Chains A and B, each alone.
Chain A
Amino acid sequence: MEYLNLGKISLLIGFILIIIGFWGILSQKNIIKIIVSFTILDTGINILIVSLGYIKGRTAPIIDASVPQLADHNVLNSIVDPVPQALVLTAIVIGFGVTALLLAYAMKLFKAKRTLEINQFNDLKW
């Protein structure tokens, strides 16, 4: 079990979710299913970024009495990397914005043709 620590497991889950997301985007015909695949892809990338900051045996970057401190709240040796977590916070918000926009487009497309099958929207096909 030495090769499969928590960091590696979450890395693997992130990769699997990314591949599932790409599969959904490429193969599904229904626009709502494509949007759901986008969110799965988002989640996979977020898990991946967070797992890159993981350090074995350390705790979340929130300093309280239970976190071992060197001196004067110096926690160099007891927390995981806070930077990827902050980046993922940004990425989640952007992902929310993208999903909301996609849903608005889907709504507009449905009003135009009363269908959500992507094959019916062939106006720009050549």
Chain B
Amino acid sequence: MIRNFLIGLVLASFVYIFYNLYVSYEPKTELTGIAAHYAEQGAKEVGAANLVTAVVVTYRGFDTMGEVTILFLTASIIGFFLKLNKKDEKKVIIHKGTSELLVTSAQLLVPIIFLFGVYVFINGHLTPGGGFQGGAIIASGIALLIMANPNKEINHHAILWIESISGIMFVIIGLLGIALAGGFLDNRFISLGTFGDLFSAGAIPLIYSFIGLKVGAEISNILNKYQKSQKES
């Protein structure tokens, strides 16, 4: 009883705060400050048609590196938590069998899903999407594979190598930005090219491809850990 009362009290205070915020909210009518600068100069300075990508990869590139680091940290902690001993590694997952429909459609769809993921992160500077989204799409292909065959062996070493190499390449491209252009993760050491082309916006397609590969490998790694933790007798 007192528990429900306290929960109600907390929620009512949230409703009160949010009601006041909602009533006093006035929609913006024009861009101000840093956003105005991005809208005015972003295309000229960075060369990316997708201004969100310009902000994420170049203007706030350091944030993105922290983000990728946090994902790596998550994958490591999950690996630490769900570690199996030698004896459990040999066990298999007992399941009631997967449906024919799922198995066949996985064979058909997984290559297409991978291709779509690669498309999304290579076109990150032109269309909605980018490295994180493309990586998540690739990992959803891995999830489909695991669902179609719960005992599927995912190549752990390949995932680890892809992840490490793309992480190192991301940092190296950032350092090249210091050496050849204005600062860390500056994309202008490769020519900006024609605005709106696939090979434009300097190093952004490269950086986002490496981010996409890294995110895809990390999420696949997490899925693989979850899959292995289900092994029993």
Contacts and interface: CB of A to CB of B under 8 A. Distances in A.
B132 interface: yes
Interface of A: 5, 7-8, 11-12, 15, 18-19, 22-23, 26-27, 52-56, 60-64, 72-77, 79, 81-83, 85-86, 89-90, 92-94, 96-97, 100-101, 103-105, 107-108
A56 B11 contact: no
Interface string B8-22: 001100110010011
Contacts of B27: 5, 7-8, 54-56
A7 B25 CA distance: 10
Nearest to A55: B28
Contact of A62 (B51, B55, B219): B51
B78 A63 contact: no
Contacts of B50: 61-63
Given A22-B10, A63-B43, A93-B132, A12 B22 contact: yes
Interface residues of B, number: 58
Given A64-B196, A82-B38, A82-B52, A104 B43 contact: no
B28 A53 contact: yes
Nearest to B43: A73
Nearest to A99: B74
Contacts of A86: 52, 55-56, 60
B71 interface: yes
Given A55-B29, A89-B56, A74 B39 contact: yes
